[in-house]
Structure 1
Amino acid sequence: MFEFRFGVDDLAATWFAYSPLQETVLSLRARRFAGYYPEQQPWIAGWQSRYETLDTALLASLVTPKAFVPDFLTPRPSSPHPDFAEELAGMAATPPEVARADVLAAYRSDGSPVPPVLAALLDDPSALVARAAGELEAYWVRCLSPTWWPRARSVLEADIAYRGRMLSERGAEGLFADLDFRLSWRAGVLTLNDSNPAVQALGTSVEVAGRGLVLIPTLFGMGAQTDITQVGPPLICYPARGKATMGEGLVAGRPAAAPGPLTALTALIGAPRARLLAMLETPSSTTELAHRLGVTPGAVSRHLGALAAAGLLERARHGRRVLYRRSALGNALVAGGRG
């Protein structure tokens, strides 16, 4: 059990972020534990041939048999929506002795021997950091960033927008209770209680002490989790809402064509706007929609603006990005248009 103890001002300094580097590393869990992540399997099938061009033995070893990950691979985000390249550069600058200690801590907590591909690098941890950074970058470029990440980012941003509303409407106790069943809040103490004996053995009391707790949604967590070592500033990862939508609309591991126009709705508002409205059952950004439709973001943006002005869409801002989702009126119009 982990206890995060808040001072008077610590709750005000709690913030949300997503991490493309963390999602890259944790996505390797979906290969090892396929049954827990069915929504990710069509994506994995789609990029399998590209994945096989990588150092798959090294990538697989970055997740232990019981799903632990060395802490240095998933550093705390420095901003609410960091860039993958800047996060990777920070990870690549990890002191070699820290990386070595984190690998040993992960496998010690797991109770499993370090795989040969990692064991061979422990005597030269600088090479370990460089190799891990290089393979993760290649994995990101070849498999994740082209089509997977735009959808994943929209799901994560939608989660954060929702959590912000929960905090304003229900306060800290309501927020943490809604994040995950493992989390509870009482009298300034946030408790993370995991039934896994290996995790329980790591439990400790953490003073937030003005460092700011960061809450990070992930598509690859079965429950709330935190760092193994608790050396750095405090963080908690939790399962993102809507992660099941990652598998929707895929054909042969690739996003399917946008939904066909709805006859009645098309006659009313035109084919491009009817198609967009049909796609926006779950929140999406302009960039993701443009990618899925094969058109420019500018073209999508004009249609989204018109639909929002008509009250058919709701908007939620996350940093510099805006997520769109059908409003109640939009839902009713799409339902009627299917007739």
Structure 2
Amino acid sequence: MAGKLVGGCSSRVTDVALCYMIEFVLGESDLVDVRFAVSPLNELTLSLRVLKNPARHPMHLPFARRVRGVDTEVLLALSNERGWTPDFLSPRPVTPFTRFEDEFAALREVPARTMRRDFRAVLGEVPAVLRDRERMLAAVEHYWEVAFAGRWDRMRAILEADIAFRGREMVQHGLATMLSGISERITFVSPVVRVLIKGVDPWRVEARGQGLTLVPSLFALRTAVPVDPGAPPLLIYAARGAGTLWETGRPSGPAALAGVLGQVRADLLAELGEPRSSTDIARRAGVTTSAVNQHLRALRDAGLLASQRHGRSVVYARTELGDALVSHSAGRGSKAPGLSLERV
């Protein structure tokens, strides 16, 4: 579904010879039902393009190198040469914090006729290797266990941080500004959301009370929509901070800033140029969440950070004042070592 029609339009987004318009028409009830959600199964599905063509996804080469012992014959057969995948593998999340176990249980219940229809829509004919339903399901489940299960907390933290940022943008600046900030290929002139996508016939979807679901992704290059024009409005987009997924180091605060705030808080402020959850910050620092929370709250109370709860996490990001302080302090003296357990 949403994990395959990724725009590859020219830089001139008005070039309709290369790009086609997908329109979601939102009614009055839909305008107040624009919601965000994280979908583990969508992430798994989108990641298949990394396995298929890792050279196109250099940022995720560490991911591709770590995937071993999976049923690649099945997994690579699930997408066509353009990276499109059947809609049943990219479900519309029913809750903001969907678990893989729940999505996979629903996947098991997808009727065989629906699978065949979606396979044909993307692949033309169902490859022989995909006619064994149990083998296909086992391959997907094992791929999750190998490639995602041990890393999902970190992935989810980045996705939730993006949602917190987009939500704040929508509250402060409105739906149109938030959507255009996701991609230059997305515009909103009430009541229509328009998305430029390459390689599909244009279509127009009336939401009719189904709302619009926005799903951030670490593996989407740009934007993605369902293959089926009749599917409920769903838009997957590239999440902010995806480039930090495989980082191992942490930025150090400028020495001048550390002289005022202390090194730990200077390091935290330097790191929060992109939104992060408190649990993610603690994980990267190798300490408990409670060990950093008092520092984060102190920076927030001083007006240098903003915070927002999202699900089980509290997401922090620098305010304009925090940005200005870090920028002004940069280059004034040498940098101190990165955040450490001893100093926390």
- Regarding TM over 0.5, the answer is yes
CA separation of 1:100 and 1:329: change in aligned 2, threshold 3 A: same
Query: Is the deviation greater in 315-324 or in 166-175?
Result: 166-175
Amino acid of the structure 1 residue aligned with 2:193: L
Cα distance in 2 between the residues matched to 1:186 and 1:332: 33
Q: Does 1:237 align with 2:224?
A: no
Cα distance in 2 between the residues matched to 1:75 and 1:99: 12
Query: Is the deviation greater in 290-299 or in 300-309?
Result: 300-309
The 3-state SS of whatever aligns with 2:28 is coil
The 3-state SS of whatever aligns with 1:28 is helix
Cα distance in 1 between the residues matched to 2:171 and 2:264: 36
CA separation of 1:264 and 1:157: change in aligned 2, threshold 3 A: same
Q: Does 1:192 align with 2:192?
A: no
Shift of 1:57: 1.7
Is contact 1:280–1:324 with CA below 8 Å preserved after alignment?
A: yes
Cα distance in 1 between the residues matched to 2:121 and 2:241: 32
Shift of 1:270: 4.5
Partner of 2:184: 181
Query: Is the deviation greater in 87-96 or in 133-142?
Result: 133-142
Is contact 1:217–1:238 with CA below 8 Å preserved after alignment?
A: yes
> 5+ residue gaps in structure 2?
1-20, 334-344
The 3-state SS of whatever aligns with 1:10 is helix
Q: Does 1:119 align with 2:119?
A: no
Q: Structure 2 matches for 1:164-175, cutoff 5 A? A: 164-175=167-178
Runs of 4+ in structure 1 off by over 6 angstroms are none
Give TM-score scaled by structure 2 length.
0.79
> 5+ residue gaps in structure 1?
none
Is contact 2:79–2:123 with CA below 8 Å preserved after alignment?
A: no
The 3-state SS of whatever aligns with 1:244 is helix
CA separation of 1:272 and 1:180: change in aligned 2, threshold 3 A: closer
CA separation of 1:194 and 1:285: change in aligned 2, threshold 3 A: same
Partner of 1:217: 216
Cα deviation, 1:39-66, whole Å, max 9, x if unaligned, reads 2223333x1xxx2211122122222211
Cα distance in 2 between the residues matched to 1:91 and 1:26: 16
CA separation of 1:179 and 1:145: change in aligned 2, threshold 3 A: same
Q: What percent identity do the matched residue pairs reach?
A: 38
Number of residue-to-residue matches in the alignment:
311
CA separation of 1:302 and 1:54: change in aligned 2, threshold 3 A: same
Partner of 1:101: 117
Query: Is the deviation greater in 69-78 or in 173-182?
Result: 173-182
Q: Which structure has the highest helix share of the two? A: 1
Cα distance in 1 between the residues matched to 2:326 and 2:183: 32
Which residue of the other structure, out of 90, 98, 101, is the alignment partner of 1:85? 101
Partner of 1:42: 62
CA separation of 1:282 and 1:151: change in aligned 2, threshold 3 A: farther
CA separation of 1:307 and 1:7: change in aligned 2, threshold 3 A: closer
Cα distance in 2 between the residues matched to 1:265 and 1:178: 31
Cα distance in 2 between the residues matched to 1:328 and 1:175: 18
Cα distance in 1 between the residues matched to 2:195 and 2:302: 44
Shift of 1:177: 3.1
Partner of 2:276: 284
